[in-house]
Amino acid sequence: MKFTLLSLFQNRSRRREEAPFSLTFELPDVGGYGLLKSTLLTLLLAVGTSLSLLAADAVPSPNTLTEAQKAAGWKLLFDGKTTVGWRNLKKPVITTTNAWVVEDGWLRKVAKVRGGDIITTGQYTDFELEWEWRIPPKANNGMKYFILEERGGIGHEYQMIDDTVVRSPKQMTGSFYDVLPPKPHQPVQFAPDSNHSRVLVQGHHVEHWLNGERILDYELGSEDVLAAVAKSKFKSTKGFGTKVTGHILFTDHTDEAALRNIRIRELPAK
């Protein structure tokens, strides 16, 4: 008698299935072993259930947190159902409800419908931010941090774009937009596939990540950064390139874009 336990993990953020693994046990088909076979079958079914529960916790549903993530201090910035926690610049809510919509667990920016940039209701100083995003070919969006409402939508931008439509490396995906270029990286995935991005800010150190690869790091207020700012469109923005406490912002470039699994954890300052 042969028993096989099969477990299949799915990586939701990459939208592909990993190879399954199985555990196979074979018992001799000999009379008088009925009770032993029944006991072992019950045990194997229990093990299979436990493995399934572990897999479910390791790969959470979109826009949720595992218990381990909660214990590590992560918080969702998007619940997958509403736009609670977000608003337009200098507005109490998102005022154009047909421009930023929630569909199938994604926060979607509708193409060619002007809805304005949106910002978090909270402000952050030292943090780790992660999000999943997708765009069609030729599209453009961006995530900005260190947003101060008194200077409008100006902030340090992590560019999200079809890199084939830009000429300057300082405007490519993962760049500190118009200031510092990213390292060469794998091409952006287009919808229906998605990308995973991460920004780390701790002390004066900043990192930009794309699909598991660190593609840029820099030091806030350093000579190199301030020299690059002086050559950028932000050269007249007071304090740009230095550290501030501010909001997180997603841009409205009128192109189609979709976001989910937006989460943040605040970090101790170094």
Cβ neighbours of 246 (radius 10 Å) = 20
What's the mean pLDDT in 219-231?
A: 98
Looking at the DSSP bridge assignments, the partners of residue 76 are 263
Q: What does the block give as tokens for 259?
A: 């976001």
Q: What are phi and psi of 255, to 5 degrees?
A: -85, 160
pTM over 0.85: no
What's the mean pLDDT in 128-134?
A: 98
The full length of the chain comes to 270
Per the CB < 8 A criterion, the answer to whether 144 and 249 are in contact is yes
pLDDT at 60: 78
Distance CA 251, CA 216 (A): 21
Q: Using pLDDT thresholds of 50, 70 and 90, give the confidence band for residue 102.
A: very high
Cβ neighbours of 152 (radius 10 Å) = 12
| pLDDT value at 206 more than 50 | yes
CA angle, 137 as apex, 153 and 216 as ends, to 5°? 55
What's the mean pLDDT in 118-123?
A: 98
CA-nearest of 217, 214, 183 to 203 is: 217
Distance CA 229, CA 227 (A): 5
- Domains (ranges, CATH) in the chain? 2-58 (no CATH), 67-266 (2.60.120.560)
| pLDDT value at 33 more than 70 | no
| pLDDT value at 43 more than 90 | no
**Using only C-alpha atoms, what is the Rg of the chain?**
23
Q: Using pLDDT thresholds of 50, 70 and 90, give the confidence band for residue 26.
A: low
